[in-house]
Structure 1
Amino acid sequence: MGELALPAGWLMPGELMARARTALSTGYWTRFLPILGALVAFTHLPSFARSVWSPDEGYLATQARMLAGGGVLYDTVVDRKPPLLPWLYEAAFWLFGSASLWPLRVLALGAHLTTAALLAALARRRWGDRAGVVAGVGYALLSIGLSPEDTQAATFEVFMLPATVLAFWFAQNSRWAAAGFATAVAALTKQTGGAVLFPVLWLLWRGLRGSDGLARRDAWLRLGLGFLLPVSVIALVTGPAHFVFWVVSGSSDYASLDGAWLTMLGRAFGNLGILGAAGLGLLVPLATGLRRSLREDRDIWIWLAASVAGVLTGLHFFGHYYLQLMPPLVLLGTGALARLTRRQGLLQRFALGYGALAATVFCVLGFVWPHQPLQQATSVAEDVTRDTSPQETVLVWGMHPEIYWLADRIPGTRYLTAGLLTNFAGGRDGKGVGVDRGMADSWATFEAEMKERLPEVFVDYSDGAPYAPQNIAPIRQLLADHYTLVGRDGDAVIYRMRPSRQLNDRLHSRNVPN
């Protein structure tokens, strides 16, 4: 039998290994990769200093436990995100246990190293060996150039970046099926990862100018199939209707214009300023050669513009959104440095020195960053663990899903944050928040969950937010009918189900046929 042929644009495994051996034999990568890996590990050492860095990590960890316990994604386990990262968390927990996030932090280091190496390969091809080193090192230093809770966590953007850079790399090499596949992987990690499709399409259009009609159709077909096939497979696995709702259409209210505009604008320009300060060593040479860069690096500027559009999506401007800007910024800055003349060597030394200094500052910040939010969530989780048995369920009404994971208790609902039921998100005021703004059918599903089994413990962690129980009638009524206040821990108010109701629930569970 003949060897199985891959679609045009793909490499056979043997050819891929041969190219890898050739690349390593030159000595460039064997010398550079260990140094780059050590630098990435050093800049992200703070990531191992805390059990959890952000609510996103807590949400993913809780999702992974629910999936491992028999939950079904986009049914009994839900979020507005694509499925690849929840599945990765689940796989890591299956291999190493779910008590710690250190395996995910190690994988995040691998994602950063892969991103840095791919950027180095892109820069090396365009501007030479030295530029490859600058791009790889530049990304490693810039990758922590935001708030530590945005850069040290193992969250969506970190795992999205390698696929986005790989898609651009494949497009640069006219491997359209592979570019489409990598774009799909990026979008299936986080929706905004699909923004890299725009520079890929531009490179395809530019590369096919002057080609005959058959070649153009073939390239477009390969790119389209490379993107659509993995997306279609994932949609079929998770259920097409559920996939479309939770990944695409169900987030329309979340991306609305309602909210506290001053808060959102402050966050937008604040995070942009932090990133600008961290990347000043690359931005200064880029500014000196801006006109030439706009002319010669048009594909990278299109990539940056698409990434900016990704940051704007949702109008929330969280710091971790800005990670998407880093790869094209690093390439643009590297290109500007590569074009400097010898007389401009001072500017090159400034870029390297400033980048190292800024990274050192952000690395130190990672170790001294305030612990108060995590300490508060940990304290509440300890209360929940102490006052419940592993068989009892808990409902945390707030935006702190990490409490479920820290307490190692089963969530009493599939909606792990109040935001899914009320459309609350950081930066919103009460205008866009309420029962009628929750995701479609969410309250009917929530009420069915409460009828089936009430959580033994209810933690109100709203702290006066627009979704506080006094503003949300179903929650206010639920507490009044079935719960008694038993304690407080900082901003958290803890309720327990009344004994008479607990007895009724136990009797009901015994009478339910298997």
Structure 2
Amino acid sequence: MLAGLLAPPRSVSDPPADRGYWRRLLPALALLACVTRLPSFTRPLWNPDEGYLAVQARLLAQGGELYETVVDRKPPLVPWLYEAAFAVAGSGTLTSVRVLAVGAQLLTAVLLASLARRRWGDRAGGTAGVLYLLVSVGLNPEDAQAATFEVFMLPCTAAAMWCADRRRWGAAGLAVAGAFLAKQTGGAVLVPVVWLCLSAGEVRAGGLMRLGVGVVVPVLGAAAVTDPAGFLFWTVTGSGAYASFAGSEMHVLTRGLTNTAILTAACAGLIPPVLRVLRPTRTGTADLWLWPAASAGAVVLGCHFFGHYYLQLLPPLALLATAALQTLPRERLTRALLTSACCCALFLAWGLLAPRSDLDHARRLADEVAARTEPRDRVLVWGIHPETYWLAERRPASRYLTAGLLTNYSGGRDTPQVGERYAVDGAWAVFREEMAERAPALVVDDSRGKPYGPERVPSLRRFLAAGYEEVGVVEGAVLYARSRAR
């Protein structure tokens, strides 16, 4: 039944006897997907998001409950995916989820190729798939190579457009829901999908209703199997202070401009044909303009402009460039592919040679934590690098895996929006209960001069003074063990 739902219809532009086409294209796309993701396998972790997901997955496997004893501001799909990968291949490395990330990028490329082929022919299909994979690495490697939320969101967004293009509104809704459940901003693809539904005159035929049902039912199901109130709070209503420029305006602006410049350089082969040829009213591409426009809105909505936010722009940009290249001389296609390939090679070299300062610090700190505690001990790492728990193989003493949830520190934000009063609503009451019920054997202050250090967090300072003593320092991170008098 599912195969029948997803099978492309027989049409002039997408013929039934196309096995030869896909037999040629799929191996090429698979090889390119593997090559572009090669740097991701060269280090244990790329960024704190991977560390956060790895710790979450371990806690879930040990009986933790999402949005109750395991919390994050993200929907549940990717933590579940990590948990499943760890159940099959073990939690000692992220190789299993890195392999899944390769599959996610390949699936995204295949869906874009199929969508482009249906609209503009065989050559366009190959162009879309190849262009997407070439630009998929076009950000800081910590953003492009990490197996995190956006990477697993992208195939769902592409599937939503694929299904909508074929007027399969129920399936399109399911894909939109999948994108939202991977990361909230994935729901932005609903904008071009709804436009396609309305422009196809499907309102009276019930298409809009099927689309809505397809979106709502999986989201409500995810809420029901976790904790409905917790799901609503952590994914929608509980991030008001986080989604703000206050206290970090210049830092955020600089980051946004920098990542925009990096992405522009990576898309040097795509942007010129788009600007030269296309307009929203020409060549039937209005929905393809809505897609990147909605995605750009989602990037801005986060108010932080982290590089991985920009990954959402890449599938629609690749499709727009493919549409533009159909109206240009063939040599422009060759130039676009060659330029994109050269840019891709530069970003791959960056990924292979990128420094590992934060990872090296987390490893040394984890080694010290492991040496000073027993496997059954609980540990509190007061910082923004939850991967320390995973590397040390120690269980967190709190459901709040980073100090950011308790102080609103994130991405360089400085005062005045950092401190206890800006924490997630109700977090400090829960944190105090956790510390009273199961005091950690070791506390690691990894703030290293950041504005969320104990000297600026009175509750943490009092907690340490009441029962802990300093026992060591690792590259600026201060370790506290329970005092003998306790």
Measured against the shorter chain, the TM-score band is: over 0.9
Q: Deviations over 1:43-81 (max 9, x none)?
A: 111100000111000000000111111111100000000
Q: Who is 1:57 aligned against?
A: 50
Instruction: Work out which of the residue numbers 266, 273, 295 in structure 1 matches 2:261.
Output: 273
Instruction: Measure, in 1, the Cα distance between the counterparts of 2:116 and 2:225.
Output: 38
Equivalent positions of 1:35-184 (< 5 A) are: 35-184=28-177
Closer/same/farther in 2, CA of residues 478 and 54 from structure 1, 3 Å limit: same
Shift of 1:292: 6.9
Q: Deviations over 1:193-214 (max 9, x none)?
A: 0000000111111111xx6x74
Which residue is 1:250 aligned to?
Answer: 238
Contact 2:5 2:171 in 1 (8 A): no
Structure 1 stretches lacking a partner, 5+ long: 1-10, 502-514
1:229 aligns with 2:217: yes
Change (3 A) 1:19 1:336: closer
Per-residue deviation, 1:492: 1.1
Residues 1:327 and 2:311 aligned together: no
Secondary structure of residue in 2 paired with 1:500? coil
Which of 369, 378, 381 pairs up with 1:396? Answer: 381
Amino acid corresponding to residue 300 of structure 1 in structure 2: L
Hey, what's the Cα distance between the residues in 1 that align with 2:97 and 2:17?
28
The answer (yes or no) to whether the contact 2:245–2:252 under 8 Å persists in 1 is no
Equivalent position SS for 2:269 = helix
Question: How many Å separate the matches in 2 of 1:157 and 1:37?
Answer: 20
Identity of aligned residues (%): 52
Compute the displacement of 1:94 (Å): 1.0
Match of residue 298 from structure 1: 286
Match of 1:7 in 2: none
**SS of the counterpart of 1:431?**
coil
RMSD of aligned Cα (Å): 1.8
Matched with 1:498 is 483
- Equivalences for 1:215-226 in 2 at 5 Å? 215=205, 218-226=206-214
1:143-188: CA deviations, max 9, x gaps? 0000001011100000000000100111111111111111001000
Structure 1: distance between partners of 2:280 and 2:243: 36
Shift of 1:117: 0.6
Asked if 2 retains the 8 angstrom alpha-carbon contact of 1:114 and 1:162, the reply is yes
Contact kept? 1:421, 1:439, Cα under 8 Å: yes
Q: Give the conservation status (yes or no) of the 8 Å contact 2:191–2:291.
A: yes
Distance 1:242 1:139 in 2: 36
Cα offset, 1:349, TM superposition: 2.1
Q: How far has the Cα of 1:18 moved from its partner?
A: 9.7
1:464 matched to which residue of 2? 449
In structure 2, distance between residues paired with 1:190 and 1:15: 25
- What secondary structure, in the 3-state scheme, does the structure 1 residue paired with 2:245 have? coil
2:414 is aligned with 1:426: no
SS of equivalent residue, structure 2 residue 137: coil
Would you say 1:191 and 2:184 are equivalent positions? yes
Deviation of the 1:129 alpha carbon: 0.7
Aligned residues: 483
Question: How far off is 1:491 after superposition?
Answer: 2.5
- In the other structure, the counterpart of 2:25 is 32
Gaps spanning 5+ residues in structure 2: where? none
- 1:498 Cα offset (Å): 1.1
Instruction: Give the deviation of 1:19 after TM superposition.
Output: 7.3
**CA distance change for structure 1 residues 23 and 30 in 2, over 3 Å: closer, same or farther?**
farther
Please point out which of 343, 351, 354 is paired with 1:358: 343
By percentage of residues, which structure has more helix?
1
Q: Does structure 2 retain, via aligned residues, the 8 Å contact 1:293–1:336?
A: no
CA contact 2:78–2:182 (8 Å) conserved in 1:
yes
In 1, Cα distance between equivalents of 2:269 and 2:377: 54
Counterpart for residue 263 of structure 1? 251
Q: 3-state DSSP class of the match of 2:270?
A: helix
- Contact 2:280 2:286 (C-alpha < 8 Å) held by counterparts: no
| Structure 2: distance between partners of 1:15 and 1:261 | 47
- Any residues of structure 2 matched to 1:332-481 within 5 Å, and which? 332-342=320-330, 345=331, 347-481=332-466
- Whole-angstrom CA distance in 1 between matches of 2:267 and 2:300: 20
